[in-house]
Structure 1
């Protein structure tokens, strides 16, 4: 008997928008449809100073 992994519900991701925009894309603004089927690495970071 083989056991398959339970099916997960598909969740739609929101479009990636915000103040910073896209970096290192040649000023192209991508949508999720543009990225579908591709491997995408997202790096979220925040710069703060310690006082």
Structure 2
């Protein structure tokens, strides 16, 4: 899957030290930047 500038990222949940979060709920109406290095893991 690839995303382009202006695309809406898919929602996902993640376990954090603060509990489970939903990406879209956490981001709200703000802009966000997803940064990943999948080859590093």
Q: Give the shorter-chain TM-score range.
A: 0.3 to 0.5
As a proportion of its length, which structure holds more strand? 2
Report the TM-score when normalising by structure 1. 0.32
More helix by share: 2
- TM-score normalised by L of structure 2: 0.34
Q: Which has the larger radius of gyration?
A: 1
